[in-house]
Amino acid sequence: MYRTHNCGEIRLSDADKTVTLSGWVQRSRKMGGMTFVDIRDRYGFTQLVFNNETNAELFDIANKMGREYVIQITGRVAERSNKNANIATGEIEIIVEKLQILNEAQTPPFTIEDNTDGGDEIRMKYRYLDLRRNNVRSNMMLRHQIAFETRRYLDQLGFLEVETPILIGSTPEGARDFVVPSRMNPGEFYALPQSPQLFKQLLMVSGFDRYFQIAKCFRDEDLRADRQPEFTQIDCEMSFVEQEDILQTFEGMIKHLFRFVKNIDFNDNFPRITWHDAMKYYGSDKPDIRFDMRLVELKETVTGNNFVIFDSAAYVGGICASGCGTYTRKQIDELTDFVKRPQVGANGLVYIRCEMDGTFKSSVDKYYSNSKLKSIAELFNAKLGDLILILAGDKIKTQKALCELRLEVGEGLCLRDKNVYKPLWVVDFPLFEWDEETRRYYATHHPFTSPNLVDIPLLDTNPGLVRATAYDMVINGVELGGGSIRIHDSNLQKRMFELLGFTPEKAQAQFGFLMSAFQYGAPPHGGLAFGLDRLVSLFAGLDSIRDCIAFPKNNSGRDIMIDAPSKIDQMQLDELNLVVKINESNIK
Amino acid sequence: MYRTHNCGEIRLSDADKTVTLSGWVQRSRKMGGMTFVDIRDRYGFTQLVFNNETNAELFDIANKMGREYVIQITGRVAERSNKNANIATGEIEIIVEKLQILNEAQTPPFTIEDNTDGGDEIRMKYRYLDLRRNNVRSNMMLRHQIAFETRRYLDQLGFLEVETPILIGSTPEGARDFVVPSRMNPGEFYALPQSPQLFKQLLMVSGFDRYFQIAKCFRDEDLRADRQPEFTQIDCEMSFVEQEDILQTFEGMIKHLFRFVKNIDFNDNFPRITWHDAMKYYGSDKPDIRFDMRLVELKETVTGNNFVIFDSAAYVGGICASGCGTYTRKQIDELTDFVKRPQVGANGLVYIRCEMDGTFKSSVDKYYSNSKLKSIAELFNAKLGDLILILAGDKIKTQKALCELRLEVGEGLCLRDKNVYKPLWVVDFPLFEWDEETRRYYATHHPFTSPNLVDIPLLDTNPGLVRATAYDMVINGVELGGGSIRIHDSNLQKRMFELLGFTPEKAQAQFGFLMSAFQYGAPPHGGLAFGLDRLVSLFAGLDSIRDCIAFPKNNSGRDIMIDAPSKIDQMQLDELNLVVKINESNIK
């Protein structure tokens, strides 16, 4: 071992001990005949002292060491005269007696500090140096801890972690599958799993009863800001359970993680909201409930006052921003610009100020009397000094725009504190989504999701109203995970396929394999999956999942550090029976 | 929840309780007006009783249930008159009051029993049914436990599990890389990692200090009996350590696993043997030391007696099979056939029987006097009634053949008990292997393996003698894992590349990326990797790693259950800018 202690553990109680440390030179300061060097490792910093008077030779070497040199020192622990309460080793320093430079270092392209001077691009190129920074490494440590505690919780409950294969088969609709040519099976391809869904359901058929896996999944899709081509899921499935069992089990898991990783106790049950109410009150299936500010529907109240925009809109709704009655014209204009952004998509914004004198001022007060405005304000339980913001238009689009506006206003009011965590189950998702374009139903979740058994009669009469036994866990407006109870009754499954427009042949081609397995005795089962990357981001208070992945890829799916993907040898292509032929239409 | 208890937990103390169980019908026996059904889940079996007299309707339904039906029952726990001490629930049975068939089942293509009637092929095709068998599932449970305890041990020692990417870059010599075409980067490919070697070394450069990962690795090679295209490694790396630190840490890990998984305590240090001695005494770099029977070199002793085979051989050596002096001519002929098999490759077998009267009988006694045979026997410390078996020829080939013979004889003498575990470190591997054909040295381990610093002067004079700081852990003749201390000194690394015949340009092309990273301050580091599949096989006493993998592939790399790999759509190929063109020369 190149050390007796690490750089974060020596305390005043170790005074006078002779210790050996190894690590990186963080910084050095020459003050007259003394040089102070901070040595760093994963565990912390320790101050080293080199003294020209007592050891001129070491002093000279020490002064030549650059940042990030790797050194090993032996010395005596001494009490500092100038203590630093900010670091754990701040009461001591090491009077160095021996020094060995284990490795020199070039000057890094950016500073290895929490607040580095390096931009995104260069930090990604030199990710191995970026990972030296404490705040980046601490995200990886948090990730380790979350994964470990997840396993500890699930192991205690009898869940078995089973590794399912990475080289699987491509499915007929696996449009976003990554594929892997097989050398041994010319012209054939494996696919990388988008999720272990098929295998975890098979494991239930196998009687594994409780399965989980922290599993790598892959999706070859155009990457939005917060997606990665490979991502990690906490994938779980249970047999002989109903929805309530799953919610209890995994609410327990999230509570366990908060307790053991963040030291936060949730004593109450997590609130639950139906998908229908989530849309109605928050305009979103993943509401951020750190603050209230619910959407209020106004269509009935505002119609019939000759304001054509409201009269002609399918939906009119608003939110009440508490205490924002003092917003200036400019602030309201900014909110108007915000809702008009293409990502939000509203046409305009109507406001009602609840003045401190009990009167109302509004952008539409030529249509609405003060008493009418008052009755609107009452729907919001608005108080003096509040500001009501109203949008109108198509129902779903406007609800979503109101959701964005609500988050924006909440942000402005500092109601979205990253250190406050508000978990929520969203339940009763619709089983089907109607697609206007193709004029057919699609499965909201996937075709194996069980309908709420109470709603089965509606399958014949009004499929759009059938609720699924599907559920999402949402924290602070982030969908952390979700799942469903699966159909285990083959007649019900057939009915589902019919409703989804699958011919028996197509159902067979696409899902036949799982259907066959089910004929040998499938238990009732259900499960869910959490996104580990999102969970870590949430716990770390990060804006992007990229920051909690050791070696992430950029928006083009490239690892710029190792420069992958890249061209491969012709010989290798020949062995794989492949010819590269760039389709011009693929070049964007 | 579809149950109040699982099928393995009800005891006599639960008598008279009303319970609900769910599971699969294992078997049913009709005895007059009673039908007994064993219900099975992951946790065990419970006997159910249906009585024609008390409930004829249930009785009729019960009699129609086939094997593997999924059922839910409610009933009263009763003491059995006919107790079964072989199963945990053998003292009780359930008098069924309610029965619900949750799912019917087709008759499985083989019996779901420990000793099934299903052959390999059909069990693999219906792997989800094979996994229902207790002995198969118990391997998966063992695998879970080993992985969990591995993580628990390493976590306690401050190791961080870091996920390294699965989509990486292909290396110029990555001949056995699986590749993945990138849709977003036309004509370019990712590769799947053969190991996380590069990334774990980078994490050391990043100051992670102690890393591990239970990592999927991939190798597209022709599969021998016990290889899989995807396999799992317990991959580890540490900074600021020497070989001794790594051996201690991971000997501790293996002891931890034996203690917590197998309930076996190893109180002593694991023995260590040098590679040189392993070859000399066992003819193998992975000796099975459950039994002694060491190889003895005889060349000096046997030369000069006009027996031309021994006189002309570069190496003559033998083993002494204790108590086998009574082997018949037929038994010795069988051993002779064994050593002549192409896989073993010897030309013949010489024996010396140590008769009970103190005389010696040998296939070569016309060349060797009894006193000469006695002096040979003394080299083996042979006792009356022992059998000495001798091979001659090229040194390495003959040592290997003797190794095979030793294992065969040991097997015959029941000296290779699967319940006895004998761990061993093999150390001091040679740094280089000389290849006669290309007349150059190759790295035995990989080009980053550090030489034993004591041997550095030999790099200039006799590289073949330089020992590596590389080590393997071997248990019962199985190489479970291995690793090395890496070179962190760039001058030494350059010297290594020279010796391995890399031009600076080639070294740059192949390893330049890691070399660049090292210039920013690489700590001394080293590590190792264990094969999880092999570890589980060893703990489970399995002959093949396939049996401890939930969904393995066959010798052609196919998953016959899901029928992967397979052809993919033309549209998908177009999107990937690929054309399949089968090279006839690839068809074997």
Question: Cβ contact (<8 Å) for A166 and B550?
Answer: no
Which tokens belong to B438?
A: 């290309």
pLDDT tens per residue across span B72-101:
999 999 999 999 999 999 999 999 999 999
Task: Please give the Cα distance from B217 to A232 (Å, whole number).
Answer: 16
**DSSP 3-state assignment of A432?**
strand
- What's the predicted TM-score (pTM) here? 0.96
Which tokens belong to B452?
A: 């034993």
Cis peptide bond upstream of B423, omega within 30: no
Mean pLDDT of the B239-264 span: 98
Higher pLDDT, A451 or B436: A451
B519/A contact by beta carbon, under 8 A: yes
Indicate the helix (H) or strand (E) that contains B389.
strand B387-393
Question: Cβ contact (<8 Å) for B102 and A182?
Answer: no
Q: Give yes or no for residue A9 having a pLDDT over 80.
A: yes
Of the candidates A179, A222, A564, which has its C-beta nearest B572's C-beta? Answer: A179
- Neighbour count for residue A67 (Cβ, 10 Å): 17
Task: Please give the Cα distance from B48 to B68 (Å, whole number).
Answer: 15
Residue B142 carries which side chain, given as an amino acid letter?
L
B104/A contact by beta carbon, under 8 A: yes
Residue B260, classified by CB atoms within 10 Å of its CB into exposed (0-12), middle (13-18) or buried (19+), is: middle
Q: Give yes or no for residue A588 having a pLDDT over 60.
A: no
Task: Please give the Cα distance from B193 to B177 (Å, whole number).
Answer: 7
| Residues from chain B contacting residue A581 (CB–CB below 8 Å) | 577-579
Among A171-180, A498-507, B113-122, B347-356, where is mean pLDDT lowest?
A: A171-180
pLDDT tens per residue across span B321-343:
999 999 999 999 999 999 999 99
Question: Cβ contact (<8 Å) for B557 and A184?
Answer: yes
| Ramachandran angles phi, psi of A242, nearest 5° | -110, 170
Question: Cβ contact (<8 Å) for B2 and A242?
Answer: yes
B227/A contact by beta carbon, under 8 A: no
Task: Please give the Cα distance from B550 to B415 (Å, whole number).
Answer: 31
Work out the pLDDT band at A225, boundaries 50, 70, 90. low
Nearest to B72, CA basis, from B35, B21, B114, B116: B21
| Residues from chain B contacting residue A523 (CB–CB below 8 Å) | 22, 24, 70, 102-103
Question: Cβ contact (<8 Å) for A207 and B104?
Answer: no
Task: Please give the Cα distance from A200 to B11 (Å, whole number).
Answer: 31
C-alpha distances in Å from residue A36, one per residue of A28, A29, A30, A204, B394: 5, 5, 6, 62, 63
> Mean pLDDT across chain A, nearest whole number?
94
Strands B350-354 and B423-427: unpaired
Select the residue from B551, B567, B575 to test the A interface by mutation, using most A Cβ atoms within 10 A. Answer: B551
**DSSP 3-state assignment of A370?**
helix
Nearest to B496, CA basis, from B483, B486, B481: B486
Question: Cβ contact (<8 Å) for A578 and B582?
Answer: no
For the CA atoms of B539, B540, B544, B550, the dihedral, rounded to the nearest 10 degrees, stands at: -110
Question: Cβ contact (<8 Å) for B520 and A207?
Answer: no
pLDDT tens per residue across span A423-480:
999 999 999 998 888 888 888 888 899 999 999 999 989 999 999 999 999 999 999 9
Which tokens belong to A357?
A: 């004198």
Task: Please give the Cα distance from A72 to A2 (Å, whole number).
Answer: 7
What is the pLDDT, as a whole number, of residue A486? Answer: 97
Mean pLDDT of the A76-99 span: 96
Task: Please give the Cα distance from A575 to A60 (Å, whole number).
Answer: 59
B570/A contact by beta carbon, under 8 A: no
A492/B contact by beta carbon, under 8 A: no
Mean pLDDT of the A102-129 span: 94
Count, residues in chain A: 588
Task: Please give the Cα distance from A148 to A256 (Å, whole number).
Answer: 11
* Cβ contact A84:A42 at 8 Å: no
Nearest to B523, CA basis, from A70, A205, A219: A70
**DSSP 3-state assignment of A127?**
helix
**DSSP 3-state assignment of B77?**
strand
Lookup result for tokens 């209230």: A292
Of the candidates B42, B166, B187, which has its C-beta nearest A582's C-beta? Answer: B187
Mean pLDDT of the A269-279 span: 98
What is the pLDDT, as a whole number, of residue B9? Answer: 97
Question: A210 forms bridges with which residues in the sheet?
Answer: A238
Task: Please give the Cα distance from A423 to A476 (Å, whole number).
Answer: 7
| Residues from chain B contacting residue A108 (CB–CB below 8 Å) | 520
Work out the pLDDT band at A226, boundaries 50, 70, 90. confident
Of the candidates B163, B222, B579, which has its C-beta nearest A232's C-beta? Answer: B163
Cβ neighbors of A583 (< 8 A, separation 6 or more) are: B186, B574, B575, B577
Alpha carbons within 13 A on the beta-carbon side of B321: 27
Of the candidates A68, A163, A553, which has its C-beta nearest B521's C-beta? Answer: A68
Helices in B318-432 by DSSP H: which ranges?
329-340, 370-379, 395-412
Work out the pLDDT band at B172, boundaries 50, 70, 90. low
Please report the sign of the dihedral spanned by the C-alpha atoms of residue B362, residue B366, residue B367, residue B370.
Answer: positive
Q: Give yes or no for residue A514 having a pLDDT over 70.
A: yes
Q: Give yes or no for residue B219 having a pLDDT over 60.
A: yes
Question: Cβ contact (<8 Å) for A578 and B580?
Answer: yes
Which tokens belong to A472?
A: 């999402």
B562/A contact by beta carbon, under 8 A: yes
Q: Give yes or no for residue B173 having a pLDDT over 70.
A: no
| Residues from chain A contacting residue B572 (CB–CB below 8 Å) | 170, 175, 177, 179
What is the pLDDT, as a whole number, of residue A585? Answer: 76
Q: Which residue of B has its CA nearest to A580?
A: B578
ipTM of the complex: 0.95
What is the pLDDT, as a whole number, of residue B509? Answer: 79
What is the pLDDT, as a whole number, of residue B588? Answer: 56
Q: How far, rounded to the nearest angstrom, does the alpha carbon of residue B22 sit from its chain's CA centroid? A: 36
Query: DSSP letters along B128-156, please?
Result: HHHTTSHHHHHHHHHHHHHHHHHHHHHHH
* Cβ contact B325:B384 at 8 Å: yes
Strands B44-51 and B92-103: parallel
Mean pLDDT of the A332-359 span: 95
B516/A contact by beta carbon, under 8 A: no
Question: Cβ contact (<8 Å) for B513 and A170?
Answer: no
Question: Cβ contact (<8 Å) for B184 and A564?
Answer: no
Question: Cβ contact (<8 Å) for A132 and B207?
Answer: yes
* Cβ contact B50:B58 at 8 Å: yes
Mean pLDDT of the A120-134 span: 95
Work out the pLDDT band at B298, boundaries 50, 70, 90. very high
Q: Give yes or no for residue A398 having a pLDDT over 60.
A: yes
Q: How far, rounded to the nearest angstrom, does the alpha carbon of residue B400 sit from its chain's CA centroid? A: 20
Q: Give yes or no for residue A173 having a pLDDT over 70.
A: no
Q: How far, rounded to the nearest angstrom, does the alpha carbon of residue A48 sit from its chain's CA centroid? A: 41
Q: Give yes or no for residue A490 having a pLDDT over 90.
A: no
| Residues from chain A contacting residue B575 (CB–CB below 8 Å) | 583, 586
Q: Give yes or no for residue A328 having a pLDDT over 60.
A: yes
Which tokens belong to B197?
A: 């070697």
Cis peptide bond upstream of A565, omega within 30: yes
Question: Cβ contact (<8 Å) for A559 and B168?
Answer: yes
B560/A contact by beta carbon, under 8 A: no
